[in-house]
Structure 1
């Protein structure tokens, strides 16, 4: 297994999948809470954190399957934030018997077409390259990504600068093609969806699409935006912990 990962705690396995432009430190304030009750695994997805850069098209789903096989885990709860939520959804559709419960924190959705405003933001970030600091500043100026200065801001910016810089070494940006958008109704796994009330319009459009999952509960966190895992870790941890303890595995 060439992906970097860390394990903390004991008990039922819970995989935490981080957001794009971030790495496993996305869960730095949440892992201590969940690891009191569960075996928490926090990988860096390919191209992020301490994991290797992609040399061929990325297959996040198969990377996750290989990680579970490597750890000899037959079934786990998946918790995904943003890109991590998209990966968790795609994985659940591909390997439903390997997923005990699904927690989606402001998730992405494969097949979803983002707004022109989102495309304009991406364009401004790309035009700032190779000035990594400026690229990070543009993202952090966007309301759904902004956080108050302090410990959370410093950690978020450190992750973002590191992972943007790392993309300059990627050999390819292609990913395996998935489109979960038309298949959400196939997910039978008990699912929890968490979103901050101040997240972007695109993310709320995605939230409406996830209502197609038959067995899904929704939670909205007041005064939280897309960086909910760092800005509101106690709220997120409490909801995840309660949800994971609801069902026997």
Structure 2
């Protein structure tokens, strides 16, 4: 998912670490209860990273919020792209999507679930090649997760504990849940800023990768300089 951003950020002088949550990419599903946030914290410990910027999209934004609240001394900058949020109660549109997706997967209609996801999450700016890539990623995730006995659990978090510089980005064409979550971050995190992208749906980094790469680089250069 983050392939378009990595090279530019490396050349700008940043160390970039990407992880696949369990059931995504090359990470297998879990055979016991687990937490995506705890996995990220464990990875930071394993790599010896004690001063980081977290960039998260969708559920990745939710996990980034959890980690930033649990480890405010570690997370110095936080960029959230159309984030979910711990404890958020889904509105009608998001609930309808979730129920429809669950019904398709229960009927083993993975293609239908993929089609629904693409139509819901990707805006018209996404190129045909990117749509093909996202379709492949989403199908793989559904296939791997079909054997999962456990999904990630989230602990209640106090977002007032977040001390990181925070930029919350929303897409004007995203579901209302995610627009409202991003727009509400300045009320939940001291000093947080909100930016709405008028052209974006739910995955702006996949819809206009070059634009978002520059947005990420500009944010990091202001809040997390390399020198």
Q: 2:160 pairs with 177, 185, 192, which one?
A: 185
Number of the residue aligned with 1:8 = none
Number of the residue aligned with 1:78 = 54
- In the TM superposition, what whole-angstrom CA distance separates every residue of 1:201-241 from its partner, at most 9, and x where no partner exists? 11122123312211112222221111211111122111211
User: Which ranges of structure 2 fall in alignment gaps of 5 or more residues?
Assistant: none
Distance 1:162 1:176 in 2: 22
Number of the residue aligned with 2:181 = 206
The structural deviation recorded for 1:178 is 2.1
Q: Is the 8 A contact 2:168 2:183 kept in 1?
A: no
Q: How many residues align?
A: 220
The alignment partner of 2:80 has SS state of strand
Distance 2:196 2:154 in 1: 30
Number of the residue aligned with 2:195 = 219
Q: 1:156 pairs with 134, 138, 152, which one?
A: 134
The alignment partner of 1:53 has SS state of coil
RMSD: 1.7
Distance 1:124 1:237 in 2: 33
Matched, 1:115 2:88: no
Distance 1:97 1:107 in 2: 22
Against the structure 1 CA distance between its residues 248 and 166, is the aligned structure 2 distance closer, same or farther, given a 3 Å change threshold?
A: closer
User: Which ranges of structure 1 fall in alignment gaps of 5 or more residues?
Assistant: 1-25
Against the structure 1 CA distance between its residues 246 and 141, is the aligned structure 2 distance closer, same or farther, given a 3 Å change threshold?
A: closer
Q: Is the 8 A contact 1:184 1:210 kept in 2?
A: no
Distance 1:28 1:247 in 2: 22
The alignment partner of 1:119 has SS state of helix
The structural deviation recorded for 1:65 is 1.3
Number of the residue aligned with 1:171 = 149
Against the structure 1 CA distance between its residues 172 and 89, is the aligned structure 2 distance closer, same or farther, given a 3 Å change threshold?
A: same
Against the structure 1 CA distance between its residues 167 and 102, is the aligned structure 2 distance closer, same or farther, given a 3 Å change threshold?
A: same
Q: 1:62 pairs with 33, 38, 41, which one?
A: 38
More helix by share: 2
The alignment partner of 1:97 has SS state of coil
Q: Which has the higher contact order (CA 8 A, sep 6+)?
A: 2
